[in-house]
Chains A and B, each alone.
Chain A
Protein backbone atom coordinates (compact mmCIF):
# COMPACT_ATOMS: atom_id res chain seq x y z
CA UNK A 1 0.00 0.00 0.00
CA UNK A 2 1.32 3.50 -0.83
CA UNK A 3 0.54 6.52 1.30
CA UNK A 4 -0.75 9.49 -0.58
CA UNK A 5 0.94 12.74 0.58
CA UNK A 6 0.66 16.30 -0.56
CA UNK A 7 2.57 19.51 0.19
CA UNK A 8 1.30 21.67 3.05
CA UNK A 9 1.49 25.45 3.05
CA UNK A 10 2.01 27.08 6.43
CA UNK A 11 1.91 30.75 7.30
CA UNK A 12 4.64 31.96 9.64
CA UNK A 13 4.32 35.45 11.06
CA UNK A 14 3.78 38.37 11.04
CA UNK A 15 3.31 37.91 14.80
CA UNK A 16 5.74 35.12 15.47
CA UNK A 17 8.58 35.33 18.00
CA UNK A 18 11.17 33.92 15.61
CA UNK A 19 10.50 36.28 12.72
CA UNK A 20 12.32 39.22 14.36
CA UNK A 21 9.53 41.70 14.06
CA UNK A 22 6.66 41.67 11.62
CA UNK A 23 8.14 39.51 8.89
CA UNK A 24 5.88 36.95 7.30
CA UNK A 25 6.73 33.84 5.29
CA UNK A 26 4.44 31.57 3.36
CA UNK A 27 6.26 28.25 3.47
CA UNK A 28 5.36 25.07 1.62
CA UNK A 29 6.50 21.80 3.15
CA UNK A 30 6.75 18.30 1.80
CA UNK A 31 6.61 16.42 5.08
CA UNK A 32 9.28 18.21 7.08
CA UNK A 33 11.28 19.53 4.13
CA UNK A 34 10.91 23.07 2.80
CA UNK A 35 9.98 23.16 -0.88
CA UNK A 36 9.00 26.80 -1.32
CA UNK A 37 9.28 30.07 0.60
CA UNK A 38 7.56 33.31 -0.19
CA UNK A 39 8.46 36.33 1.95
CA UNK A 40 5.64 38.81 2.52
CA UNK A 41 6.78 42.28 3.53
CA UNK A 42 5.33 45.66 4.25
CA UNK A 43 3.72 45.38 7.68
CA UNK A 44 5.98 48.15 9.00
CA UNK A 45 6.04 50.29 5.87
CA UNK A 46 5.98 53.97 6.83
CA UNK A 47 7.14 55.49 3.57
CA UNK A 48 10.41 56.87 4.96
CA UNK A 49 11.63 57.79 1.49
CA UNK A 50 8.56 59.86 0.78
CA UNK A 51 8.60 61.42 4.25
CA UNK A 52 12.19 62.54 3.64
CA UNK A 53 11.05 64.60 0.65
CA UNK A 54 8.96 66.75 3.00
CA UNK A 55 11.68 67.47 5.57
CA UNK A 56 14.82 69.56 5.60
CA UNK A 57 18.20 67.86 5.26
CA UNK A 58 18.84 68.12 9.01
CA UNK A 59 15.41 66.83 9.99
CA UNK A 60 15.81 63.67 7.92
CA UNK A 61 18.46 62.49 10.43
CA UNK A 62 15.64 61.61 12.84
CA UNK A 63 13.98 59.45 10.17
CA UNK A 64 17.16 57.43 9.67
CA UNK A 65 17.13 56.43 13.36
CA UNK A 66 13.96 54.52 12.73
CA UNK A 67 15.33 52.38 9.90
CA UNK A 68 17.52 49.83 11.63
CA UNK A 69 16.58 50.68 15.18
CA UNK A 70 19.28 48.52 16.76
CA UNK A 71 21.97 50.33 14.74
CA UNK A 72 20.85 53.96 14.59
CA UNK A 73 24.37 55.41 14.61
CA UNK A 74 25.32 53.62 11.40
CA UNK A 75 22.18 54.94 9.71
CA UNK A 76 22.96 58.47 10.87
CA UNK A 77 26.50 58.12 9.57
CA UNK A 78 25.44 56.88 6.14
CA UNK A 79 22.97 59.71 5.77
CA UNK A 80 25.18 62.58 6.93
CA UNK A 81 28.06 61.33 4.78
CA UNK A 82 25.83 61.49 1.72
CA UNK A 83 24.60 64.99 2.55
CA UNK A 84 28.20 66.11 3.05
CA UNK A 85 29.14 64.59 -0.29
CA UNK A 86 26.21 66.34 -1.95
CA UNK A 87 26.78 69.75 -0.37
CA UNK A 88 30.59 69.61 -0.26
CA UNK A 89 30.84 69.96 3.53
CA UNK A 90 33.99 68.85 5.33
CA UNK A 91 33.54 67.81 8.97
CA UNK A 92 36.34 68.51 11.48
CA UNK A 93 38.73 65.72 12.46
CA UNK A 94 37.42 65.26 15.98
CA UNK A 95 33.89 64.84 14.70
CA UNK A 96 35.02 62.09 12.32
CA UNK A 97 36.72 60.22 15.17
CA UNK A 98 33.65 60.57 17.40
CA UNK A 99 31.45 59.28 14.59
CA UNK A 100 33.65 56.26 13.96
CA UNK A 101 33.78 55.45 17.69
CA UNK A 102 29.99 55.69 17.84
CA UNK A 103 29.48 53.62 14.67
CA UNK A 104 31.81 50.86 15.86
CA UNK A 105 30.14 50.72 19.28
CA UNK A 106 26.87 50.39 17.41
CA UNK A 107 28.27 47.53 15.36
CA UNK A 108 29.17 45.67 18.56
CA UNK A 109 25.69 46.32 19.96
CA UNK A 110 24.02 45.11 16.76
CA UNK A 111 26.09 41.93 16.62
CA UNK A 112 25.28 41.31 20.30
CA UNK A 113 21.59 41.53 19.45
CA UNK A 114 22.18 39.08 16.61
CA UNK A 115 24.04 36.60 18.83
CA UNK A 116 21.38 36.70 21.53
CA UNK A 117 18.41 36.30 19.23
CA UNK A 118 20.09 33.67 17.12
CA UNK A 119 20.67 31.55 20.20
CA UNK A 120 17.02 32.15 21.03
CA UNK A 121 16.12 30.77 17.59
CA UNK A 122 18.33 27.76 18.26
CA UNK A 123 16.27 26.93 21.30
CA UNK A 124 18.49 28.31 24.07
CA UNK A 125 15.65 30.44 25.33
CA UNK A 126 16.32 33.81 26.96
CA UNK A 127 19.53 33.07 28.92
CA UNK A 128 22.07 33.87 26.16
CA UNK A 129 19.94 36.82 25.18
CA UNK A 130 20.22 38.23 28.69
CA UNK A 131 24.00 37.78 28.62
CA UNK A 132 24.24 39.72 25.35
CA UNK A 133 21.86 42.44 26.44
CA UNK A 134 23.92 42.95 29.59
CA UNK A 135 26.78 44.30 27.45
CA UNK A 136 24.51 46.05 25.00
CA UNK A 137 23.13 47.99 27.95
CA UNK A 138 26.65 49.30 28.67
CA UNK A 139 26.92 50.56 25.09
CA UNK A 140 23.53 52.23 25.35
CA UNK A 141 24.69 53.92 28.57
CA UNK A 142 27.66 55.31 26.64
CA UNK A 143 25.30 56.66 23.98
CA UNK A 144 23.17 58.21 26.68
CA UNK A 145 26.23 60.19 27.76
CA UNK A 146 26.87 61.28 24.17
CA UNK A 147 23.42 62.45 23.20
CA UNK A 148 20.87 61.71 25.91
CA UNK A 149 19.04 59.02 23.95
CA UNK A 150 19.43 55.27 23.92
CA UNK A 151 17.71 53.98 20.79
CA UNK A 152 16.69 56.86 18.50
CA UNK A 153 20.00 58.63 18.81
CA UNK A 154 20.11 61.36 16.12
CA UNK A 155 23.66 62.10 17.27
CA UNK A 156 25.15 63.11 13.94
CA UNK A 157 24.48 66.18 11.86
CA UNK A 158 25.63 67.21 8.40
CA UNK A 159 29.03 68.73 9.16
CA UNK A 160 29.81 66.98 12.43
CA UNK A 161 28.07 65.74 15.54
CA UNK A 162 25.46 67.25 17.81
CA UNK A 163 27.86 67.88 20.72
CA UNK A 164 31.30 66.93 22.00
CA UNK A 165 31.59 63.87 24.25
CA UNK A 166 31.30 64.88 27.92
CA UNK A 167 34.23 64.50 30.35
CA UNK A 168 32.99 61.29 31.96
CA UNK A 169 32.49 59.57 28.57
CA UNK A 170 36.16 58.77 28.08
CA UNK A 171 36.78 56.90 31.38
CA UNK A 172 33.52 54.98 30.84
CA UNK A 173 34.58 54.05 27.30
CA UNK A 174 37.97 52.99 28.61
CA UNK A 175 36.36 50.73 31.18
CA UNK A 176 34.14 49.21 28.48
CA UNK A 177 37.13 48.53 26.22
CA UNK A 178 38.87 46.74 29.09
CA UNK A 179 35.90 44.57 30.04
CA UNK A 180 34.50 43.71 26.62
CA UNK A 181 37.16 41.23 25.38
CA UNK A 182 36.49 39.08 28.47
CA UNK A 183 32.79 39.09 27.75
CA UNK A 184 33.39 38.04 24.13
CA UNK A 185 35.59 35.23 25.45
CA UNK A 186 32.70 34.25 27.67
CA UNK A 187 30.27 34.02 24.70
CA UNK A 188 32.79 32.11 22.68
CA UNK A 189 33.30 29.68 25.54
CA UNK A 190 29.57 29.11 25.73
CA UNK A 191 28.68 29.10 22.03
CA UNK A 192 31.59 28.63 19.60
CA UNK A 193 32.64 25.20 20.85
CA UNK A 194 29.18 24.10 21.94
CA UNK A 195 28.36 20.73 20.47
CA UNK A 196 24.65 21.43 19.97
CA UNK A 197 25.38 24.71 18.18
CA UNK A 198 27.96 23.04 15.96
CA UNK A 199 25.62 20.22 14.97
CA UNK A 200 22.80 22.63 14.21
CA UNK A 201 24.89 25.26 12.40
CA UNK A 202 27.83 23.61 10.65
CA UNK A 203 27.19 22.89 6.95
CA UNK A 204 23.58 24.04 7.21
CA UNK A 205 22.15 26.75 4.97
CA UNK A 206 25.17 27.05 2.69
CA UNK A 207 25.41 30.11 0.46
CA UNK A 208 28.03 30.10 -2.28
CA UNK A 209 30.17 33.16 -2.94
CA UNK A 210 29.01 33.46 -6.54
CA UNK A 211 25.36 33.36 -5.58
CA UNK A 212 25.94 35.90 -2.81
CA UNK A 213 27.59 38.43 -5.14
CA UNK A 214 24.99 37.96 -7.85
CA UNK A 215 22.19 38.56 -5.35
CA UNK A 216 23.77 41.81 -4.09
CA UNK A 217 24.32 40.35 -0.62
CA UNK A 218 26.58 42.49 1.54
CA UNK A 219 28.02 42.63 5.00
CA UNK A 220 28.84 39.68 7.27
CA UNK A 221 26.82 37.25 5.10
CA UNK A 222 28.91 38.04 2.03
CA UNK A 223 32.12 37.74 4.02
CA UNK A 224 31.01 34.45 5.59
CA UNK A 225 30.74 33.08 2.04
CA UNK A 226 34.42 33.83 1.54
CA UNK A 227 34.33 37.17 -0.28
CA UNK A 228 36.76 39.61 1.29
CA UNK A 229 34.76 42.79 0.74
CA UNK A 230 34.38 45.42 3.41
CA UNK A 231 33.65 49.01 2.48
CA UNK A 232 35.74 50.24 5.39
CA UNK A 233 38.77 48.78 3.59
CA UNK A 234 37.63 48.81 -0.06
CA UNK A 235 36.29 52.36 -0.09
CA UNK A 236 37.46 53.98 3.16
CA UNK A 237 35.30 56.81 4.45
CA UNK A 238 35.83 59.00 7.52
CA UNK A 239 39.13 57.98 9.14
CA UNK A 240 39.10 54.24 8.44
CA UNK A 241 42.28 54.60 6.38
CA UNK A 242 44.13 55.73 9.52
CA UNK A 243 43.37 52.65 11.63
CA UNK A 244 44.57 49.07 11.31
CA UNK A 245 42.14 46.18 11.41
CA UNK A 246 41.46 42.86 9.71
CA UNK A 247 38.45 41.69 7.75
CA UNK A 248 37.23 38.37 9.17
CA UNK A 249 35.79 36.08 6.52
CA UNK A 250 34.58 32.51 6.38
CA UNK A 251 35.16 29.64 4.01
CA UNK A 252 31.98 27.60 3.70
CA UNK A 253 29.20 30.17 3.97
CA UNK A 254 27.11 28.12 6.40
CA UNK A 255 25.24 29.26 9.48
CA UNK A 256 28.25 28.82 11.73
CA UNK A 257 30.46 31.01 9.50
CA UNK A 258 27.86 33.73 9.56
CA UNK A 259 27.85 33.64 13.36
CA UNK A 260 31.62 33.38 13.69
CA UNK A 261 32.37 36.27 11.31
CA UNK A 262 30.22 38.52 13.47
CA UNK A 263 31.93 37.51 16.71
CA UNK A 264 35.32 38.21 15.17
CA UNK A 265 34.07 41.53 13.85
CA UNK A 266 33.25 42.57 17.41
CA UNK A 267 36.90 42.09 18.34
CA UNK A 268 38.05 44.07 15.31
CA UNK A 269 35.66 46.88 16.22
CA UNK A 270 37.21 47.05 19.69
CA UNK A 271 40.63 47.40 18.03
CA UNK A 272 39.35 50.26 15.86
CA UNK A 273 37.86 52.10 18.85
CA UNK A 274 41.11 51.72 20.82
CA UNK A 275 43.10 53.27 17.99
CA UNK A 276 40.57 56.08 17.61
CA UNK A 277 40.80 56.89 21.33
CA UNK A 278 44.59 57.12 20.98
CA UNK A 279 44.48 59.30 17.87
CA UNK A 280 41.65 61.71 18.70
CA UNK A 281 42.70 65.28 19.49
CA UNK A 282 40.80 68.20 20.98
CA UNK A 283 39.12 70.53 18.54
CA UNK A 284 35.76 71.59 17.16
CA UNK A 285 33.14 68.90 16.56
CA UNK A 286 30.94 70.67 14.04
CA UNK A 287 31.86 72.79 11.06
CA UNK A 288 29.96 75.95 10.23
CA UNK A 289 26.86 74.64 8.51
CA UNK A 290 23.60 76.58 8.37
CA UNK A 291 20.56 74.89 9.85
CA UNK A 292 18.91 74.85 6.42
CA UNK A 293 21.45 73.10 4.24
CA UNK A 294 20.94 73.97 0.56
CA UNK A 295 23.07 71.63 -1.55
CA UNK A 296 23.57 72.65 -5.18
CA UNK A 297 21.56 70.86 -7.88
CA UNK A 298 22.89 67.36 -8.29
CA UNK A 299 22.96 63.89 -6.82
CA UNK A 300 25.15 61.73 -4.62
CA UNK A 301 25.33 58.08 -3.60
CA UNK A 302 26.95 57.55 -0.22
CA UNK A 303 27.45 54.21 1.47
CA UNK A 304 28.86 52.80 4.66
CA UNK A 305 29.50 49.34 6.02
CA UNK A 306 26.61 49.09 8.47
CA UNK A 307 26.42 46.08 10.84
CA UNK A 308 24.04 44.35 8.44
CA UNK A 309 25.76 45.21 5.20
CA UNK A 310 26.09 48.05 2.74
CA UNK A 311 23.77 50.86 3.75
CA UNK A 312 23.50 53.41 0.96
CA UNK A 313 21.66 56.67 0.47
CA UNK A 314 20.99 58.12 -2.96
CA UNK A 315 20.04 61.77 -2.66
CA UNK A 316 18.89 64.01 -5.48
CA UNK A 317 18.87 67.74 -4.84
CA UNK A 318 16.97 70.37 -6.79
CA UNK A 319 18.66 73.19 -4.90
CA UNK A 320 15.98 73.42 -2.24
CA UNK A 321 16.01 72.81 1.50
CA UNK A 322 14.60 69.27 1.24
CA UNK A 323 15.87 66.33 -0.81
CA UNK A 324 14.04 65.89 -4.11
CA UNK A 325 14.46 62.13 -3.85
CA UNK A 326 15.93 60.07 -1.03
CA UNK A 327 16.49 56.42 -1.86
CA UNK A 328 17.56 54.12 0.97
CA UNK A 329 19.50 51.05 -0.08
CA UNK A 330 18.91 48.98 3.01
CA UNK A 331 21.00 45.85 3.50
CA UNK A 332 18.34 43.83 5.36
CA UNK A 333 15.86 44.25 2.52
CA UNK A 334 18.24 43.14 -0.20
CA UNK A 335 19.79 40.36 1.89
CA UNK A 336 16.35 38.73 1.98
CA UNK A 337 16.65 38.03 -1.76
CA UNK A 338 18.50 34.77 -1.08
CA UNK A 339 16.04 33.61 1.56
CA UNK A 340 14.32 31.17 -0.77
CA UNK A 341 17.58 29.79 -2.15
CA UNK A 342 19.13 28.99 1.20
CA UNK A 343 15.99 27.59 2.83
CA UNK A 344 14.67 25.24 0.15
CA UNK A 345 15.71 21.66 0.80
CA UNK A 346 16.29 22.08 4.54
CA UNK A 347 14.02 21.01 7.34
CA UNK A 348 11.59 23.11 9.33
CA UNK A 349 13.89 23.34 12.36
CA UNK A 350 16.84 24.50 10.22
CA UNK A 351 14.66 27.06 8.55
CA UNK A 352 14.33 29.20 11.67
CA UNK A 353 18.06 28.93 12.46
CA UNK A 354 19.11 29.86 8.91
CA UNK A 355 16.67 32.72 8.77
CA UNK A 356 18.12 33.97 12.06
CA UNK A 357 21.63 34.20 10.60
CA UNK A 358 20.51 36.61 7.88
CA UNK A 359 19.96 39.05 10.76
CA UNK A 360 17.28 41.28 9.34
CA UNK A 361 15.66 44.22 11.02
CA UNK A 362 12.12 44.98 9.99
CA UNK A 363 12.44 48.73 10.43
CA UNK A 364 14.99 48.61 7.65
CA UNK A 365 13.28 46.03 5.47
CA UNK A 366 9.99 47.89 5.25
CA UNK A 367 11.22 51.45 5.75
Chain B
Protein backbone atom coordinates (compact mmCIF):
# COMPACT_ATOMS: atom_id res chain seq x y z
CA UNK B 1 0.00 0.00 0.00
CA UNK B 2 1.29 3.48 -0.80
CA UNK B 3 1.37 5.52 2.40
CA UNK B 4 0.79 9.23 2.11
CA UNK B 5 3.02 11.48 4.16
CA UNK B 6 1.08 13.89 6.35
CA UNK B 7 1.45 17.64 6.05
CA UNK B 8 2.93 17.80 9.53
CA UNK B 9 5.77 15.35 8.81
CA UNK B 10 6.57 17.05 5.53
CA UNK B 11 6.48 20.59 6.85
CA UNK B 12 8.87 19.64 9.65
CA UNK B 13 11.42 18.18 7.25
CA UNK B 14 11.01 20.96 4.70
CA UNK B 15 11.14 23.93 7.06
CA UNK B 16 14.18 22.47 8.80
CA UNK B 17 16.17 22.32 5.55
CA UNK B 18 14.74 25.40 3.83
CA UNK B 19 13.70 27.89 6.52
CA UNK B 20 10.67 30.08 5.95
CA UNK B 21 9.45 28.14 2.92
CA UNK B 22 6.21 26.62 4.23
CA UNK B 23 3.29 29.03 4.10
CA UNK B 24 0.74 26.76 5.71
CA UNK B 25 0.07 23.08 6.31
CA UNK B 26 -2.82 20.84 7.24
CA UNK B 27 -3.26 17.11 7.72
CA UNK B 28 -3.12 16.17 4.03
CA UNK B 29 -0.90 18.65 2.28
CA UNK B 30 1.48 21.57 2.65
CA UNK B 31 1.52 24.95 0.98
CA UNK B 32 4.90 26.18 -0.21
CA UNK B 33 5.79 29.79 -0.89
CA UNK B 34 6.40 30.08 -4.66
CA UNK B 35 9.73 31.87 -4.24
CA UNK B 36 11.32 28.92 -2.39
CA UNK B 37 9.66 26.18 -4.46
CA UNK B 38 12.77 25.27 -6.50
CA UNK B 39 14.87 24.68 -3.39
CA UNK B 40 12.11 22.63 -1.78
CA UNK B 41 11.58 20.59 -4.95
CA UNK B 42 15.26 19.72 -5.10
CA UNK B 43 15.17 18.71 -1.44
CA UNK B 44 12.11 16.49 -1.97
CA UNK B 45 13.83 14.69 -4.79
CA UNK B 46 17.32 14.37 -3.37
CA UNK B 47 16.85 13.79 0.36
CA UNK B 48 17.28 10.03 0.81
CA UNK B 49 14.43 9.53 3.28
CA UNK B 50 11.97 11.34 0.99
CA UNK B 51 13.28 10.30 -2.45
CA UNK B 52 10.38 11.67 -4.51
CA UNK B 53 11.80 10.72 -7.89
CA UNK B 54 8.44 10.28 -9.62
CA UNK B 55 6.18 13.23 -10.35
CA UNK B 56 2.66 11.94 -10.93
CA UNK B 57 0.80 15.04 -11.95
CA UNK B 58 0.90 18.81 -12.12
CA UNK B 59 -2.55 20.37 -11.80
CA UNK B 60 -3.77 23.94 -11.68
CA UNK B 61 -7.13 24.63 -10.04
CA UNK B 62 -8.84 27.97 -10.53
CA UNK B 63 -10.48 29.16 -7.27
CA UNK B 64 -11.25 32.62 -8.69
CA UNK B 65 -9.43 34.45 -5.83
CA UNK B 66 -6.26 32.50 -6.51
CA UNK B 67 -4.79 29.70 -8.59
CA UNK B 68 -3.69 26.56 -6.78
CA UNK B 69 -0.85 24.58 -8.36
CA UNK B 70 -0.91 20.99 -7.10
CA UNK B 71 1.95 18.51 -7.39
CA UNK B 72 1.39 14.81 -6.72
CA UNK B 73 4.63 13.03 -5.92
CA UNK B 74 5.50 9.39 -5.35
CA UNK B 75 8.64 7.66 -4.18
CA UNK B 76 9.04 4.36 -6.00
CA UNK B 77 11.68 3.19 -3.53
CA UNK B 78 9.85 3.90 -0.25
CA UNK B 79 6.36 3.58 -1.76
CA UNK B 80 5.00 6.75 -0.21
CA UNK B 81 3.33 9.79 -1.72
CA UNK B 82 2.84 13.47 -0.99
CA UNK B 83 0.71 16.38 -2.16
CA UNK B 84 2.46 19.74 -2.46
CA UNK B 85 0.50 22.90 -3.18
CA UNK B 86 1.23 26.48 -4.05
CA UNK B 87 -1.06 29.44 -4.24
CA UNK B 88 -0.57 32.30 -6.63
CA UNK B 89 -2.69 35.40 -6.62
CA UNK B 90 -3.63 37.74 -9.42
CA UNK B 91 -5.41 36.90 -12.66
CA UNK B 92 -3.25 38.84 -15.11
CA UNK B 93 -0.23 36.60 -15.32
CA UNK B 94 0.31 34.46 -12.22
CA UNK B 95 3.68 32.74 -12.20
CA UNK B 96 5.45 29.92 -10.35
CA UNK B 97 8.95 28.49 -10.92
CA UNK B 98 9.16 25.61 -13.39
CA UNK B 99 10.47 22.25 -12.16
CA UNK B 100 11.41 20.80 -15.55
CA UNK B 101 15.08 20.94 -14.55
CA UNK B 102 14.28 18.64 -11.62
CA UNK B 103 11.53 16.39 -12.99
CA UNK B 104 11.48 16.21 -16.78
CA UNK B 105 7.99 14.71 -16.58
CA UNK B 106 6.63 18.16 -15.75
CA UNK B 107 7.47 19.41 -19.25
CA UNK B 108 4.22 18.76 -21.14
CA UNK B 109 2.01 19.22 -18.09
CA UNK B 110 3.37 22.70 -17.38
CA UNK B 111 2.87 23.63 -21.01
CA UNK B 112 -0.69 22.37 -20.81
CA UNK B 113 -1.31 24.33 -17.61
CA UNK B 114 0.01 27.48 -19.27
CA UNK B 115 -2.09 26.85 -22.36
CA UNK B 116 -5.41 26.14 -20.67
CA UNK B 117 -5.11 27.93 -17.32
CA UNK B 118 -2.70 30.75 -18.08
CA UNK B 119 -0.29 30.14 -15.22
CA UNK B 120 3.24 30.99 -16.31
CA UNK B 121 6.04 28.60 -15.34
CA UNK B 122 9.20 30.68 -15.10
CA UNK B 123 12.30 28.94 -16.38
CA UNK B 124 10.52 26.43 -18.59
CA UNK B 125 12.74 25.79 -21.64
CA UNK B 126 9.92 25.75 -24.19
CA UNK B 127 6.81 27.36 -22.71
CA UNK B 128 4.33 27.63 -25.55
CA UNK B 129 0.80 26.44 -26.18
CA UNK B 130 0.43 22.69 -26.56
CA UNK B 131 -3.26 21.85 -27.10
CA UNK B 132 -4.42 25.04 -28.78
CA UNK B 133 -2.80 27.03 -31.54
CA UNK B 134 -0.62 30.11 -31.09
CA UNK B 135 -2.79 33.19 -31.09
CA UNK B 136 -5.79 31.60 -29.37
CA UNK B 137 -7.46 34.30 -27.30
CA UNK B 138 -7.41 33.60 -23.55
CA UNK B 139 -7.07 30.45 -21.48
CA UNK B 140 -10.23 28.35 -21.81
CA UNK B 141 -10.07 26.28 -18.63
CA UNK B 142 -10.36 29.32 -16.38
CA UNK B 143 -13.65 29.68 -14.58
CA UNK B 144 -14.26 33.14 -16.05
CA UNK B 145 -13.54 32.22 -19.67
CA UNK B 146 -16.44 33.16 -21.91
CA UNK B 147 -16.96 31.77 -25.37
Q: CB < 8 Å: which of A50, A303, A316 contacts B56?
A: A303
Main secondary structure of the interface of A (DSSP, over half): mixed
B-contacting 9-mer, from A41-49, A60-68, A141-149, A151-159: A41-49
B72 and A312: CB pair below 8 A?
Answer: yes
B2 and A234: CB pair below 8 A?
Answer: yes
**Least Cβ distance of B139 to chain A in Å?**
11
Residues of B within 8 A of A310 (CB): 56
Q: A49-B141, A334-B109, A367-B131 are in contact. List 5 more A-B contacts (CB 8 A).
A: A41-B131, A42-B130, A234-B76, A324-B61, A327-B59
With A and B bound together, what is the CA distance between A42 and B56 in angstroms? 21
Q: How many residues of A contact B (CB 8 A)?
A: 34
A121 at the interface (CB under 8 A from B): no
B140 and A314: CB pair below 8 A?
Answer: no
B83 and A42: CB pair below 8 A?
Answer: no
**0/1 string, B62-89, CB within 8 A of A gives 1:** 1000000010100010010001000000
B-contacting 9-mer, from A74-82, A210-218, A256-264, A342-350: A210-218
A-B contact count (CB 8 A): 81
With A and B bound together, what is the CA distance between A367 and B132 in angstroms? 12
Residues of A within 8 A of B104 (CB): 211, 214-216, 337-338
Chosen A-B contacts, 7 in total, with CB atoms closer than 8 Å, are A213-B53, A216-B104, A216-B105, A217-B105, A236-B1, A314-B70, A337-B104
A314 and B57: CB pair below 8 A?
Answer: yes
Residues of A within 8 A of B133 (CB): 42
Q: CB < 8 Å: which of A214, A303, A314, A324 contacts B105?
A: A214
A314 and B131: CB pair below 8 A?
Answer: no
Residues of A within 8 A of B141 (CB): 47, 49-50
With A and B bound together, what is the CA distance between A217 and B140 in angstroms? 27
A355 at the interface (CB under 8 A from B): no
